[in-house]
Amino acid sequence: MKVLHLIYDDPGNPWVAGGGAVRAFEIYRELGERVDATIVSGSYPGAREGTVEGVRYRRLGARRPYAWSRLTYAAAASRLLRRGDYDVAAFEFSVYTPILLPGDRPIGLVIHHVTGPTARERFGGVVGGAVAAVERRMLRRARHISLSAEWGVGQVRPLAPDAELHVVGAGVGEEFFAVERREGDYLLFFGRLDVFQKGLDTLLEAYAGLRGRQGAATPPLLVAGRGKDAEVVERMARELGVADHVRLLGPVSDARRLELLAGARVLLMPSRFEGFGLVAAEAMAAGVPLVASRAGSLPEVVDAPRGGVLVPPEDPEALAGAVGALLDDDRRRAELSASARESARRYLWQSVADRHLRFLERVARES
């Protein structure tokens, strides 16, 4: 079966290198020779076509700037879906990638979260309302939709009343379960540097509050990842007076990521919304005590109190309090480390890849 998987994001993209891109790579690496798959992603400075660990990549669109790269990708991907040679295609849906889907081709949508519920908060009433309206129109025609969490069913069903919904999920590699914990003296954030979605403003305000309570005993905060808001994060840390204790590491290698997880005393994930929350599942598998916001799919993934501690989103005081309580309780951190690893075994990549293949086969068969 010849598969096209369209996703603008890519693990190496300096603007959007999120969990969805990692998920797509891991799924097709697991599927291996069972399908003839090509991931069709956007281009960016330094992007190359070719095969990575058995997964074939094709790039579309301009390399820069970001907005033009995304728009030209959407135009080229729309042409590819109309004229391309494939048995089934999967499009990782985003209202910011306005791909025109032909009605007579076998195409399923992959959705991690919808934008409408947070668009007004992010962009204001007029622009946010327009974004939500466009998203509603785009989804209403969908026939098959794959979701990464059960939480997404409630979001998507009102927007796509006639679509068949499939919950496929996301996964965690065995290498995370093999991490040997060597607790160090730092707190960790890992993810895309998107202030609004990832709650980085809440993170920094909570960290400033934590230092106000615990003073010099507060571990430094390491921020790992790339994204469009790196300079904004640096500025916010300076304005809050914690710049000397917050280290932006930028993008890190896979090996370095495992090292960071091995030593983190607590991982913080104060997102405003998450379609799945891959970082949470990876931290749990690595045995890292986790404090996350009660937002989107995170309650489903974190499985509190086994997998971590949940706090209200956009609440720096609650986040600081939960982190401080864990820092003061060695026994609780050790208990969380053990129970989180056990809970994370729900998310092994092989079972996710099998469910994704069944989704592709269903789309191809019906078409």
| pLDDT at site 328 | 95
110 shares its domain with 233: no
What CATH number is associated with residue 201?
A: 3.40.50.2000
Domain, as residue range, for 299: 174-346
Answer yes or no: is pLDDT of 119 > 90: no
| pLDDT at site 116 | 83
| pLDDT at site 189 | 98
The mean predicted confidence, pLDDT, of the chain is 94
Segment 95-121 shows an average pLDDT of: 89
203 shares its domain with 139: no
Q: Exposed (0-12), middle (13-18) or buried (19+): which is 262, by Cβ within 10 Å? A: middle
Q: Are 338 and 289 in contact (CB under 8 A)?
A: no
* CA 211/CA 324 separation, integer angstroms: 10
Segment 149-161 shows an average pLDDT of: 91
CB-based burial, 63-94: b 16+ in 10 Å, e otherwise: eeeeeebbbbbbebbbebbeeeebbbbbbbbb
CA gyration radius for the chain?
A: 20
Segment 174-201 shows an average pLDDT of: 96
Of 349 and 127, which is predicted with more confidence? 349
Q: Give me the residue label for tokens 């993209």.
A: 13
| pLDDT at site 319 | 98
Segment 322-342 shows an average pLDDT of: 96
Q: Are 242 and 204 in contact (CB under 8 A)?
A: yes
222 shares its domain with 257: yes
Of 315 and 171, which is predicted with more confidence? 315
229 shares its domain with 291: yes
Segment 67-71 shows an average pLDDT of: 95
| Residue partners of 156: CB distance under 8 A and separation at least 6 | 111, 114, 139, 145, 147, 163, 165
164 shares its domain with 252: no
Angstrom CA distances, 215 to 210, 218, 238, stand at 8, 6, 17
180 shares its domain with 70: no
Q: Are 30 and 64 in contact (CB under 8 A)?
A: no
Q: For the whole model, what pTM was predicted?
A: 0.80
Segment 68-82 shows an average pLDDT of: 96
Answer yes or no: is pLDDT of 83 > 90: yes
19 shares its domain with 154: yes
Grade residue 121 by pLDDT with cuts at 50, 70 and 90: confident
* pLDDT > 70 fraction of the chain, expressed in percent and rounded: 100
321 shares its domain with 216: yes
* CA 90/CA 103 separation, integer angstroms: 14
Grade residue 366 by pLDDT with cuts at 50, 70 and 90: confident
Grade residue 117 by pLDDT with cuts at 50, 70 and 90: confident
| pLDDT at site 156 | 93
144 shares its domain with 255: no
Tens digit of each residue's pLDDT (9 = 90 or more) over 274-323 = 988 899 999 999 999 999 999 989 999 999 999 999 999 999 999 999 99
3-state secondary structure of 208: helix
202 shares its domain with 286: yes
126 shares its domain with 219: no
Name the domain count of the chain. Answer: 2
Highest mean pLDDT among 10-19, 122-131, 250-259: 250-259
Answer yes or no: is pLDDT of 367 > 80: no
Tens digit of each residue's pLDDT (9 = 90 or more) over 34-45 = 999 999 999 999
137 shares its domain with 22: yes
| pLDDT at site 122 | 79
